[in-house]
Chains A and B, each alone.
Chain A
Amino acid sequence: MKIFQPKKWQYLFITAFAFFLLESCKPKGTQSAAGGDATKAYVAPGKYDEFYNFVSGGFSGQMSVYGLPSGRLLRVIPVFSTDPEKGWGFSEETKPMLNTSHGFVPWDDAHHPELSQTNGEVDGRWVFINGNNTPRIARIDLKTFRTAEIIEIPNSAGNHSSAFVTENTEYVVAGTRFSIPPDDANGDVPIDSYKQNFKGNVSFLSVDPKEGHMKIAFQIRTPGVNFDLSHAGKGNSHGWFFFSCYNSEQANTLLEVNASQRDKDFIMAVNWKKAEEYLKAGKGRKQAVRYAHNIYSDKTHSATSTIETEITVLDSKELADMVYLIPCPKSPHGCDVDPTGEYIVGSGKLAALMPVYSFTKIQKAIADKAFDGDYEGIPVIKYEAALHGEVQKPGLGPLHTEFDANGNAYTSMFVSSEVVKWNVKSLEVLDRVPTYYSIGHLMVPGGDSKKPFGKYLVAYNKITKDRYLPTGPELTQSAQLYDISGDKMKLILDFPTIGEPHYAQAAPAELINKNSLKFFKIEENENPYAAKGEGQAKVTREGNKVHVYMTSIRSHFNPDNIEGVKVGDEVYFHVTNLEQDWDVPHGFSVKGANNAELLIMPGETQTLKWVPEKSGMFPFYCTDFCSALHQEMQGYIRVSPRGSNVALEYSTGKTPAPSAAKEPAK
């Protein structure tokens, strides 16, 4: 019998055929949508993706980076959660990054990445992301793809409506999903005193245009509503920021029912240029608070955590012309501004229509004082006066809207599990496409900026069920990539994600990859414990602290034999990777350490703290396969009992004298 020996192209054909048949096995209903053009997502081996896609890790607390259109996972960047794989939050240098006013917090819930912008366009320098639970904002440097800064937000709980930026990244914002009594007030009050004691806040953090360092410029004190999402004005509406808010009922229990009583909640419009004027005029109140501000330095390869103690608060009730409320039906979630800055879309997640507001009309309504009274001292603009129009019957459960460069909007519909494309001006629904299943956020590259790149749309779904091979009760969240270059959206790829993706951003690869760092220059390493050459390797003792200044280079550590450490000593392994070559990290781990590994980039120094609790022999080794002799990259540390007189000695490559090479004493 002749054996069929397929050639390369035949393999391709067979694979494609297999996929076709596989799809034909899908239950009815998924068939037609799954019949999309998968070749559009195909990126050949060795070829680059067109876009970087920065995806929030949700309850993983991290951010993942995918390539589009392939959906290939490129990196998981540790942000708010410890990551033993990278030593994040385990090394002495990174621990301060997770410091807060509550102490070391090893986890958070990260929802909304936002790329920095210049002139309203994605500039590829940094990406910001919010921490929901212990309110924080992180800045990730896209030269290193590492978290460079984390700042805590005082007077806050549930920083959900964050981390969105203004047109030139003048500010990144934070907001309270949970209103709480302010930090300088007594929080030990009955919960049902909510209306009296609980306050909302939106925070504006200025961003240093050169270094990116964040600073809480001011907070605006608001009524005790729940802020949900936000977006900056742009173009005409630059200088304004829009926040959706729900629970205008100010309920403190069973919000499922009690926060849905009113027909309309609000979009809050903040004139931040006006706020700046008030700030300059000294209208703010200084408030004593405590919050952590953590900065990682690529010079010292270590983080510092500073507890800051003061912010300035502007009161929305007292300062006129700074804050307005616009009615928005039924618990608005998404609050999205189109590329022109003229149209603001509010998505009431329980509403059967979507209001689109006009910035011009909002300005006119303010000038005409077309108000429907006030809400705790904040003028409420008449709904009709602010309205451009309503998208009728868009679908069920509208959540979020992104835009393309052709005047179209794309809205995710959670309840009806679909993406709906509509025209921003005419409000006409143009197309709808299902997602599998129950879409939350969606993303078009540049889709919340002045210059959307279009081409693709990714749906980030909440429920997976039968999309992939089952893996027990918990399934990875599914994402779906659609081609939006034509009139009709077309599904082209389905891929799994990490954590629970919420919002995401994407930018053309060339905006970012040209800046990507290959290694840290060893001569610029200012870590006080760096050993910038093997000659600097040493071990010193200060009381019960033992500092090991260790180097690693293919394929040995220096020193790799250490003796004279005693039970109860605090041993600090300061490991410097001497390599000056791209993609040659070394790892370091020691047996029994109640910690993680170190993963040290070329030119970097990282420190593992280890407190041996019993005497004996403890091997250490390199965990990242670095060379053909990686398996030889190892060493021993001898631990003697407390009070032992074994001398502190260290070496690498020391050949024992014949007399020393004797049998151990029995």
Chain B
Amino acid sequence: MFAFSFFVACNNENKGSNTSGDDNTTTTTSGGQETVQDEESQKDIVKIAVGSKDHSTLVAALKQADYVTALSNAGPFTVFAPTNAAFDKLPAGTVDGLMKADKKNDLQNILEYHVSIGVFKENMMQDGQLIDQANNQKITISKSADGKITVNGKANILAAIPASNGLVYVIDEVLLPPAKN
């Protein structure tokens, strides 16, 4: 009876399409909390990005780079989230090129350059501060006398959104990692 009740439950949810357990073909099985069904808790960074119509390019890139899992986890992160318009400023074809399977490393590198491990609130930022990003390179913070923050001398912070696992800064430029030596 136990077995049958589960059978029914699965059919109703229409999610019971799991088959073989043939997991060896999947190299990037999620260990992330993005599959946790929880509509009550404060939203994490991924849920905030997914819920924003201005970030569909970023979300697509996070998925392509297998970065959804990490940003759903405990963090804490500060994520600089370029808007769709920011991605559109890149030379034509740049985003499409990065979304190709053989450019996954490059895409990961760029995305990781937008992620700091740690919560950096605006009032803690100082002019000239260097922050280490997840790709092992640094961004530079500029802070004007009136407290306005600019990243790498170019990107402006349009909004700051607190997330359950950190902080999202919506920015108007894509941050491009400096060439590594």
Residue among A18, A30, A462 making CB contact with B74, cutoff 8 Å? A462
Give A556 Cβ to nearest chain B Cβ, in Å. 45
Give B75 Cβ to nearest chain A Cβ, in Å. 7
Give A328 Cβ to nearest chain B Cβ, in Å. 14
Stretch in A244-252, A429-437, A584-592 with 4+ CB within 8 Å of B: A429-437
A367 is an interface residue with CB less than 8 A from chain B: no
Question: How many B residues have CB within 8 A of the partner chain?
Answer: 44
**Across the interface, do A14 and B69 meet the contact criterion of CB distance under 8 Å?**
no
**Across the interface, do A437 and B132 meet the contact criterion of CB distance under 8 Å?**
no
Give B9 Cβ to nearest chain A Cβ, in Å. 6
A463 is an interface residue with CB less than 8 A from chain B: yes
**Across the interface, do A330 and B118 meet the contact criterion of CB distance under 8 Å?**
no
| A25-B13, A488-B24 given; A33·B29 CB < 8 A | yes
**Across the interface, do B37 and A466 meet the contact criterion of CB distance under 8 Å?**
yes
Stretch in B14-22, B53-61, B94-102, B153-161 with 4+ CB within 8 Å of A: B14-22
A431-445 interface code vs B (CB 8 A; 1 in, 0 out): 011111111000000
**Across the interface, do A350 and B36 meet the contact criterion of CB distance under 8 Å?**
no
Within 8 A of A (CB), among B1-56: 2-3, 6-7, 9-10, 13, 15-18, 20-24, 26-27, 29-38
- CA A295 – CA B94 in complex, angstroms? 69
Contacts of A260 in B (CB 8 A): 118, 132
A416 is an interface residue with CB less than 8 A from chain B: yes
Contacts of B124 in A (CB 8 A): 254, 257
**Across the interface, do B13 and A437 meet the contact criterion of CB distance under 8 Å?**
no
**Across the interface, do B136 and A18 meet the contact criterion of CB distance under 8 Å?**
no
**Across the interface, do A256 and B119 meet the contact criterion of CB distance under 8 Å?**
yes
- CA A119 – CA B13 in complex, angstroms? 57
**Across the interface, do A415 and B118 meet the contact criterion of CB distance under 8 Å?**
no
| A35-B21, A415-B70, A435-B31 given; A14·B2 CB < 8 A | yes
Contacts of B117 in A (CB 8 A): 350, 396-397, 415
B141 is an interface residue with CB less than 8 A from chain A: no
- CA A243 – CA B13 in complex, angstroms? 51
Contacts of A435 in B (CB 8 A): 31
**Closest A residue, CB atoms, query B30:** A29
B172 is an interface residue with CB less than 8 A from chain A: no
Residue among B6, B18, B37, B135 making CB contact with A35, cutoff 8 Å? B18
**Across the interface, do B132 and A350 meet the contact criterion of CB distance under 8 Å?**
yes
A22 is an interface residue with CB less than 8 A from chain B: yes
Contacts of B173 in A (CB 8 A): none
**Across the interface, do B27 and A417 meet the contact criterion of CB distance under 8 Å?**
no
Contacts of A465 in B (CB 8 A): 33, 36, 38
Give B16 Cβ to nearest chain A Cβ, in Å. 4
A372 is an interface residue with CB less than 8 A from chain B: no
**Across the interface, do B33 and A352 meet the contact criterion of CB distance under 8 Å?**
no
**Across the interface, do A352 and B31 meet the contact criterion of CB distance under 8 Å?**
no
**Across the interface, do A18 and B3 meet the contact criterion of CB distance under 8 Å?**
yes
A556-590 interface code vs B (CB 8 A; 1 in, 0 out): 00000000000000000000000000000000000
Within 8 A of B (CB), among A324-364: 329-330, 350-353
A23 is an interface residue with CB less than 8 A from chain B: yes
**Closest B residue, CB atoms, query A35:** B21
Question: How many A residues have CB within 8 A of the partner chain?
Answer: 52
A625 is an interface residue with CB less than 8 A from chain B: no
- CA A36 – CA B22 in complex, angstroms? 9
Residue among A18, A35, A257, A463 making CB contact with B118, cutoff 8 Å? A257
B73 is an interface residue with CB less than 8 A from chain A: yes
Within 8 A of A (CB), among B66-114: 69-70, 73-75, 105, 112
B163 is an interface residue with CB less than 8 A from chain A: no
B158-169 interface code vs A (CB 8 A; 1 in, 0 out): 000000000000
**Across the interface, do B118 and A25 meet the contact criterion of CB distance under 8 Å?**
no
- CA A60 – CA B38 in complex, angstroms? 28
| A352-B134, A415-B75 given; A18·B2 CB < 8 A | yes
**Across the interface, do A463 and B74 meet the contact criterion of CB distance under 8 Å?**
yes
Contacts of A621 in B (CB 8 A): none
**Across the interface, do A21 and B16 meet the contact criterion of CB distance under 8 Å?**
yes
Residue among B3, B9, B38 making CB contact with A14, cutoff 8 Å? B3
| A256-B119, A438-B73 given; A29·B6 CB < 8 A | no
Give B62 Cβ to nearest chain A Cβ, in Å. 13
A104 is an interface residue with CB less than 8 A from chain B: no
**Across the interface, do A25 and B9 meet the contact criterion of CB distance under 8 Å?**
yes
Contacts of B16 in A (CB 8 A): 21, 24-25
**Across the interface, do B118 and A417 meet the contact criterion of CB distance under 8 Å?**
no
- CA A434 – CA B35 in complex, angstroms? 13
| A27-B15, A35-B18, A35-B20 given; A416·B31 CB < 8 A | yes
A109 is an interface residue with CB less than 8 A from chain B: no
A196 is an interface residue with CB less than 8 A from chain B: no
**Across the interface, do B18 and A23 meet the contact criterion of CB distance under 8 Å?**
yes
A549 is an interface residue with CB less than 8 A from chain B: no
Residues of A whose CB lies within 8 Å of any CB of B are 14-15, 17-18, 21-33, 35-36, 254, 256-257, 260, 263, 329-330, 350-353, 393, 396-397, 414-418, 432-439, 462-463, 465-466, 488, 490
A24-B10, A393-B105 are known; give 17 further A-B pairs, CB within 8 A: A14-B2, A24-B15, A27-B15, A27-B36, A29-B30, A30-B30, A32-B23, A35-B22, A257-B120, A396-B70, A414-B74, A417-B31, A417-B69, A433-B29, A439-B31, A462-B74, A466-B36
- 5 sampled A-B residue pairs with Cβ under 8 A: A17-B3, A25-B15, A33-B29, A438-B33, A465-B36
The 6 closest A-B pairs by CB, nearest first: A434-B31, A35-B21, A352-B136, A417-B31, A32-B23, A29-B30
Residues of B whose CB lies within 8 Å of any CB of A are 2-3, 6-7, 9-10, 13, 15-18, 20-24, 26-27, 29-38, 69-70, 73-75, 105, 112, 117-120, 124, 132, 134-136
